[in-house]
Amino acid sequence: MVKIAPSILSADFSKLADEIKSVEQDVDYIHVDVMDGHFVPNITIGPLIVDAIRPVTDLPLDVHLMIENPDRYVPQFAQAGADLISVHVEACSHLHRVIQQIRHEGVKPGVVINPATPVSAIEPILEDVDLVLVMTVNPGFGGQSFIESTLSKIERLKELKNQYGYNYEIEVDGGVKASTAKACVDAGAEVLVAGSAIFNHDDRSSAVRTIKKSYEQSV
Ligand SMILES: O=C(CO)[C@H](O)[C@H](O)COP(=O)(O)O
Ligand SMILES: [Fe+2]
């Protein structure tokens, strides 16, 4: 079963609790985009917001850290109630140490690769993570166009997972909507992050259904 993870980056921040409630019956994770204005040009959410939305839902909070030196903030996001914390390989000088740190905090660790980063950059860490997030846009903003060249990396991650019996889920993030979701699922994506394709529609159930219908023939 393919999982859906709505990104609250495209939600109405003046009523985040209502926004989360509007999707939770149809989805599997709540995706939280944390940006620091350094690793990416945008500034968004910190641990205080994660703490505030934690009691709103029982769904796992999938926290995507787009920040430099994430080791400085992992304990705060863990204490705030993150269930998964993913860090960019491009933002970590000591990736293995950060992944260990996340697990030590009792949280599932994930690693993220940007569109221009090859799978080979994270091969040594694949046995240690619960999630691999393939960015299908350059991180920083919602509502961007899907980058097709990322599909071969999803296929490679599926191949490596089958070959070595790794436990990670393959997640994709950026530009995922009805017209791009099937290609992701066919390539091996198991978790689809979608922000604008869900929150830019008044009827969230119908928006999620439209995405699911686009690939259900292939799963
Ligand atoms: O990490 C992200 C951006 O850096 C977001 O999760 C992603 O962009 C979701 O937005 P959309 O589905 O509208 O592309
Ligand atoms: Fe994200």
Domains and CATH numbers, the chain: 3-218 (3.20.20.70)
pLDDT of residue 108: 99
User: For residue 146, which amino acid is it?
Assistant: F
> CB–CB of 16/8 below 8 Å?
yes
128 is in an annotated binding site: no
- Ligand 1 atom at minimal distance to the Cα of residue 194: 12
pLDDT of residue 162: 98
pLDDT, tens digit, for every residue of 113-164? 999 999 999 999 999 999 999 999 999 999 999 999 999 999 999 999 999 9
46 is in an annotated binding site: no
Average model confidence (pLDDT) across the chain: 98
pLDDT confidence band for 219 (50 / 70 / 90) = very low
Ligand closest to Cα of 6 equals 1
pLDDT of residue 33: 98
pTM of the model: 0.98
Ligand 1 test: best mutation among 38, 114, 144, most atoms within 8 Å of CB? 144
pLDDT of residue 86: 99
- The two tokens of residue 60 are 């796992």
Please state, in angstroms and rounded to a whole number, the distance separating the CA atoms of residues 56 and 61: 11
Per-residue pLDDT, averaged over 167-186, amounts to 98
pLDDT, tens digit, for every residue of 1-19? 999 999 999 999 999 999 9
The residues carrying an active-site annotation are: 33, 173
Please state, in angstroms and rounded to a whole number, the distance separating the CA atoms of residues 134 and 115: 7
Strand-by-strand arrangement of the 131-135 sheet: 3-6, 191-194, 169-173, 131-135, 108-113, 84-88, 61-66, 30-35
31 is in an annotated binding site: yes
Which residues approach ligand 1 with their CB closer than 6 A? 7, 9-10, 31, 33, 64, 66, 137, 139-144, 173-176, 193-197
- Give helix 204-215 / helix 178-187 axis angle, nearest 10°: 40
pLDDT of residue 182: 98
- Ligand 1 atom at minimal distance to the Cα of residue 64: 1
Residue 40: pLDDT over 50: yes
Helices (H), the chain: 16-21, 47-53, 74-80, 95-104, 151-164, 178-187, 196-199, 204-215
Nearest CA, atom 10, ligand 1: 142
37 is in an annotated binding site: no
pLDDT confidence band for 65 (50 / 70 / 90) = very high
Instruction: Report the complex ipTM.
Output: 0.98
pLDDT, tens digit, for every residue of 75-91? 999 999 999 999 999 99
Please state, in angstroms and rounded to a whole number, the distance separating the CA atoms of residues 16 and 56: 9
pLDDT, tens digit, for every residue of 89-106? 999 999 999 999 999 999
Report CA(127)–ligand 1 centroid distance (Å): 26
Report CA(102)–ligand 1 centroid distance (Å): 23
> CB–CB of 100/108 below 8 Å?
no
Nearest CA, atom 7, ligand 1: 174
pLDDT of residue 137: 98
- Ligand 1 atom at minimal distance to the Cα of residue 140: 4
